[in-house]
């Protein structure tokens, strides 16, 4: 679904590791702290809940097995 061109102009699939590495590289240069993939999961959950999306839908979308995700709502 997401890809980019590398230095050899080859199309490469964007992986979670490559995505987070690049973001953390940019943020470190700006003096910001590192983030993990978990931060995006929490942020996505919070955004959906604030938009009024039903908790059962959020649970499925986030592949949560329990209602523990409700503790992450910020």
Percent of the chain with pLDDT over 70: 96
Q: What is the mean pLDDT of residues 14-41?
A: 92
pLDDT of residue 62: 85
User: What pTM was estimated for this model as a whole?
Assistant: 0.64
pLDDT of residue 74: 59
Flag whether pLDDT at 24 surpasses 70: yes
pLDDT of residue 56: 93
Helix/strand/coil for 58: helix
């Amino acid at each position: 679904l997401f890809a980019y061109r590398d230095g050899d102009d080859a199309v490469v699939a964007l992986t979670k590791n490559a995505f987070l590495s690049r973001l953390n590289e940019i943020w470190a240069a700006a003096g910001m702290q590192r983030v993990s993939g978990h931060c995006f999961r929490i942020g996505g959950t919070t955004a959906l809940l604030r938009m009024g999306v039903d908790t059962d839908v959020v649970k499925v979308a986030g592949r949560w097995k329990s209602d523990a995700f409700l503790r992450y709502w910020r």
